[in-house]
Amino acid sequence: MRADQATFAVREATGDELEDLLALREQVFCGEQGVSREAELDGRDGDATHIVALAGGSVVGTCRLLIEADTARLGRMAVERGWRRRGVGNALLAEAERLVAQRGVRRIVLHAQLSAEPLYARNGYRSDGERFVEEGMEHVAMDKTLA
């Protein structure tokens, strides 16, 4: 564990945290990146497993997993601005991988914003190299097969 990881905890979200994690996503995606609220709230949150990073009782990071057959789709990863580059994203990915492996899923797929591609690559995700635009931002499809 990195020294700065001692200041936050990562785990599957409880129902009580859904409002806070949605607020963080709205802050990051809608407020910072200009994604429409309608696009951010795609109606799939009720079907998802949500993961949160907590510091001092506040949600400082989140992502969600949609499990379909033998594949998990990771998405909606957001980290509060002041917590970026402090290991939160790495910890969210590690917990996501642990949870899906526990459920027998061996493959995770995602659409990474180009700015986040290095984070995923450092964590073993492979890019298919084809760029595409989602919500006005360039993305790349990435995947990882778990051991």
Task: For 39-69, write each residue's pLDDT tens digit.
Answer: 999 999 999 999 999 999 999 999 999 999 9
Q: State the alpha helices, DSSP H only, in 52-140.
A: 88-102, 117-122
Put the strands of the sheet holding 49-55 in their side by side order. 9-12, 49-55, 58-68, 71-79, 107-113, 137-145, 126-134
Query: Looking at residue 2, what is its pLDDT?
Result: 45
Q: Which helix (H) or strand (E) holds 138?
A: strand 137-145
The number of angstroms, rounded, from the C-alpha of 41 to the middle of its chain's C-alpha atoms is: 15
* pLDDT the model gives residue 47: 95
Domains of the chain: 3-145 (3.40.630.30)
Triad 121, 5, 74: Cα angle to 5°: 40
pLDDT of residue 1 exceeding 90, the answer is no
Tens-place pLDDT, residues 90-141: 999 999 999 999 999 999 999 999 999 999 999 999 998 899 999 999 999 9
Q: CA 52 to CA 131: how far, in whole Å?
A: 28
The reported pTM is 0.92
Q: Give strand ranges (E) for 6-125.
A: 9-12, 49-55, 58-68, 71-79, 107-113
Residue 96 C-alpha from the chain's centroid:
8
